[in-house]
Amino acid sequence: VWSNCLLFIKDNIQPQAYKTWFEPIVAVKLTDNALSIQVPSKFFYEWLEEHYVKILKVSLTKELGEHAKLVYIIKMENTYGNKQPFTEKIPSSNRGALKSQDVDVPLNNKSPELRNPFVIPGIRNVKIESQLNPNYSFENFLEGDSNRLARSAGLAVAAKPGGTSFNPLLIFGGVGLGKTHLAHAIGVDIKDKYPEKTVLYISAEKFTQQYIDSVKKNNRNDFIHFYQIIDVLIIDDVQFLSGKTGTQDVFFHIFNHLHQNGKQVILTSDKAPVDMQDIEQRLLSRFKWGLSAELQHPDFETRVSILKNKLYRDGVEMPDDIIEYVAKNIKTNVRELEGAIISLIAQSSFNKKEITLDLARVIVEKFVKNTKREVSIDYIQKVVSDYFQMDVDTLQSKTRKRHIVQARQLAMFFAKKFTKASLASIGSQIGKRDHATVLHACKTVDNLSSTDKQFRKYVEDITKKLSV
């Protein structure tokens, strides 16, 4: 029956539309005059109802007669965030629980409920796992001057998701300053206030991976549909999308769809939009539509209260002077602040030592030293160009002069060694080169430093400069 319907439909609509909207459908079963078909997503179902209901009705009536019925079964892939694969049958609005699995093909029926099936109570709950960490709550996100704007914007968004001008809300700031925590907190709060809303937290990296998988498996459309039914989409570390044009493209479309439908988008990034590299202009301009709020380095008081809160939650007591010592000496990063306290606790309990100021000194010193290694690509370029007495522009220039090429290759090599940036992102930051150039640079430096004494000295000198 279904293949006959398809033949008829195929003859009557655009080939591309047929491919997109009808090929993915699987006929599941036929009972009496009701045909069940499986569709990839709720959005898909909505689209079919919106655009192809007539042709479906006509083709089905031809096959099954006047009383033909169509039942949609919505398939959710477990790839896109929800842990359990599940299928959900769409019940009809006006038939009560007993016959709840039928959706009549509403040819002449202009009832608003059927035109917009998602307002029907009871079928809105698409079970997408939100992937939220309940510990990352607003309550646990301590307020200070450094985060006041971002935090209150987050609260405003959580109170009225999609209903403020903060859409998208972009939270940006350096590592370990609480971007991920705050993004979760907004999601957790929304879930609390609006349990029926579909909230999804995902890292840009995972999003990219899913997208690449979907292209490989030929279900890019499912991927898009999946994201288009979300009410609150939280994407963490969007700087990861830099240079990834395919993913940026698909995200652009998803973003537009969500935004147009009043859905909330929350993004985090390690940079302000103006400083983002290799993100398409049209996407950047979207990022700026809402509010960009910065998380800055927390001041001393905030650091102390973060530590006290953490200790309190872990049930650990610690003298104030030690807490203050740690807070005074670890300034740049909340994650490290917490890390230092954790290793302090661990040290004292492993060695059965009391937590003393001396122990705190030793541990904090280690932390401060270790963290010095986290240098930025900008800093590396500066150090390398200073070393060779040129300016950064020269280092980045297109010239093929040997000593400049060498300096550039060294900068790339150290960027690979001392940062977590990908080859592509290193390339784009050091004079807009591609990842192959960076890879080549790293190999060249490796080779030269084992064969060329003078070159090895360069590497050693610069390593020293970068490590102090």
Query: CA 299, CA 313: separation in Å to the nearest integer?
Result: 21
Does 141 bind ligand ADP (CB under 6 A)? Our answer is yes
Instruction: Please pick, from the candidates 42, 69, 75, 181, the single residue that binds ligand ADP as defined by CB under 6 A.
Output: 181
Pick between residue 180 and residue 210 the one whose CB is nearest to ligand ADP. 180
Q: Is 7 left (phi over 0), alpha (psi -120 to 50) or beta?
A: alpha
Applying CB under 6 A, the span of 15-23, 91-99, 179-187, 351-359 interacting with ligand ADP comes to 179-187
Pick between residue 239 and residue 449 the one whose CB is nearest to ligand ADP. 239
Instruction: Please pick, from the candidates 123, 128, 142, 235, the single residue that binds ligand ADP as defined by CB under 6 A.
Output: 142
Structure tokens at 315: 């049930």
Pick between residue 178 and residue 243 the one whose CB is nearest to ligand ADP. 178
The residue to which tokens 């995902």 are assigned: 202
Neighbours of 187 (CB within 10 A): 28
Structure tokens at 434: 């591609």
Instruction: Please pick, from the candidates 56, 132, 241, 334, the single residue that binds ligand ADP as defined by CB under 6 A.
Output: 334
Pick one of ligand ADP, Mg ion, none as the site partner of residue 140 (Cβ within 5 to 8 A by kind). ligand ADP
Pick between residue 330 and residue 383 the one whose CB is nearest to ligand ADP. 330
Q: Which residues contact 393 (CB under 8 A, 6 or more apart)?
A: none
Residues 160 to 179 in contact with Mg ion, rule: CB under 5 A: 179
- How big is the site for ligand ADP, counted in residues (CB under 6 A)? 16
Report in angstroms how near the CB of residue 444 gets to Mg ion at its nearest: 34
Preceding omega of 134 cis (within 30 degrees of 0): no
Pick between residue 38 and residue 268 the one whose CB is nearest to Mg ion. 268
Neighbours of 320 (CB within 10 A): 9
Does 180 bind Mg ion (CB under 5 A)? Our answer is yes
Preceding omega of 168 cis (within 30 degrees of 0): yes
Pick between residue 342 and residue 345 the one whose CB is nearest to Mg ion. 342
Instruction: Please pick, from the candidates 33, 61, 133, 140, the single residue that binds ligand ADP as defined by CB under 6 A.
Output: 140
* Cα distances (angstroms) measured from residue 411 to each of 6, 377, 388, 401, 437: 59, 8, 11, 16, 12
Does 408 bind ligand ADP (CB under 6 A)? Our answer is no
Query: CA 325, CA 346: separation in Å to the nearest integer?
Result: 17
Residue at 193: amino acid letter: K
Report in angstroms how near the CB of residue 55 gets to Mg ion at its nearest: 47
Neighbours of 459 (CB within 10 A): 18
Does 154 bind ligand ADP (CB under 6 A)? Our answer is no
Does 150 bind ligand ADP (CB under 6 A)? Our answer is no
Q: How far out from the chain centre does Cα 394 lie?
A: 35
CA distance between the termini of the chain: 75
Does 338 bind ligand ADP (CB under 6 A)? Our answer is yes
Residues 113-135: b if buried by 16+ CB within 10 A, e if exposed: ebeebeeeeebeebebebbbeee
Q: For residue 425, which phi and psi values (nearest 5 degrees)?
A: -75, -35
Report in angstroms how near the CB of residue 133 gets to Mg ion at its nearest: 11
Applying CB under 6 A, the span of 175-183, 286-294, 361-369, 447-455 interacting with ligand ADP comes to 175-183
Pick between residue 293 and residue 410 the one whose CB is nearest to Mg ion. 293
Pick one of Mg ion, ligand ADP, none as the site partner of residue 176 (Cβ within 5 to 8 A by kind). ligand ADP
Binding site for Mg ion (CB under 5 A): 179-180
Binding site for ligand ADP (CB under 6 A): 140-142, 147, 173, 175-181, 306, 334-335, 338
